Amino acid sequence: MKRITLLFLSLLLVGCQSSPHADSQNEISSNQENAANNETSEETEASSEENIEEADSAKSDGTRSAWTDYSAYAELDEEGYGYYIHDDPDVSSEIFPLHTTNSEDVLLFTFDDAPQMPEAYSLEIAKTLKEKDVNAIFLVNGMYLEETEGRDMIREVYDMGFEIGNHTQTHANLRELTYDQQYEEISQTSQMVEEITGEKPRWFRPPFGLFNMDTILICNELGMQLMTWSFGYDWMDEYLDGDALAEVSVNNEYLRGGANILMHDRSWTSDALARMIDGYREKGYHIVDPLIIKSQENSTAPMQ
């Protein structure tokens, strides 16, 4: 736990100093939240449908189109993308607009350790998200997909429209493994995800946020962008409770546009989720549909 806390803090400290988004937390948009605003004009609906169709036909990697209403915060390019994730996970894995017209007040929701068997909450979490029209990435551990129950749950989550990412086979500390062992940990899970969904995962998150150059090279070979996170509280002793978690998640000093929010497949997270979404929307944030985030090759510049 200590190592996680240290890494988490160092990520935050470095991220705060260097990110171009440093000021955006004070610029809360006055736009009304898109999902709360059902009075979308016919024109907007038509153009957003067009965008969706374009995205369908343009993406050659088989990735599906966004399903949330992103028209209030993003315009997509001809490939169907509106955002990208900063490619140095040691500094930040924040979300940035690909186009100047797109809102910077976006947050990304990610759920690790899915579907944590035997008592998994991924499906419950997915249902709450869907009710609130929020898409997210579920990062899975292959060890939970060995039994039918876990596979069925992830297939259902995928079929609901959510994106599935890779969080290794056994939740290993990758820094303690050789290249070959890491390859096994990572490729096995990608393969399982592809067998279940028919799609290769685009996103990889190393357990405990710990990785090295081998991890980067393997992710590039398997076509995944490695991401860490901006903040998350649902694994800390004081926040293993829905009320406390909802409160700190919405009111903390690290909340700002572009934040990549780490959550887990846990009962208290599921409990806090609806309140978190409402709280973020009240503050003017949009929760970005990951399907409009363009993944990219990881930088292999020497690590510090």
Q: Name the phi and psi angles at 293, rounded to 5.
A: -95, 125
Nearer to Zn ion, 72 or 262 (CB): 262
Minimum Å gap between C-beta 144 and Zn ion is 11
Among 64-72, 108-116, 188-196, 247-255, which window interacts with Zn ion (CB under 5 A)? Answer: 108-116
Strand order in the sheet with 95-97: 95-97, 83-85, 293-294
How many other β-carbons are positioned within 10 Å of the β-carbon of residue 60? 7
Minimum Å gap between C-beta 211 and Zn ion is 13
Q: How many amino acids of this chain bind Zn ion (CB under 5 A)? A: 3
Among 27-35, 47-55, 85-93, 206-214, which window interacts with Zn ion (CB under 5 A)? Answer: 206-214
Among 112-120, 148-156, 175-183, 285-293, which window interacts with Zn ion (CB under 5 A)? Answer: 112-120
Among 62-70, 89-97, 110-118, 176-184, which window interacts with Zn ion (CB under 5 A)? Answer: 110-118
Contact 73, 88 (CB under 8 A): no
List Cα–Cα distances, 286 to 67, 111, 145, in angstroms.
14, 17, 31
Side-chain half-sphere exposure of 247, counting CA atoms within 13 A: 7
How many other β-carbons are positioned within 10 Å of the β-carbon of residue 98? 18
Minimum Å gap between C-beta 233 and Zn ion is 14
113 forms part of the interface with Zn ion (CB under 5 A): yes
| One-character DSSP codes across 222-243 | HT-EE---SB--TTSGGG-SHH
Q: Which residues of 41-57 are buried (b: 16+ CB within 10 A; e: fewer)?
A: eeeeeeebeebbebbee
Q: Which amino acid is at 182?
A: Q
Site for Zn ion in 232-291 (CB under 5 A): none
Among 72-80, 106-114, 146-154, 222-230, which window interacts with Zn ion (CB under 5 A)? Answer: 106-114
105 forms part of the interface with Zn ion (CB under 5 A): no
185 forms part of the interface with Zn ion (CB under 5 A): no
Nearer to Zn ion, 82 or 142 (CB): 142
Minimum Å gap between C-beta 65 and Zn ion is 28
Minimum Å gap between C-beta 174 and Zn ion is 12
69 forms part of the interface with Zn ion (CB under 5 A): no
Contact 110, 264 (CB under 8 A): no
Tokens 């690590």 belong to 303
Minimum Å gap between C-beta 284 and Zn ion is 30
Which residues here bind Zn ion, judged by CB under 5 A? Answer: 112-113, 207
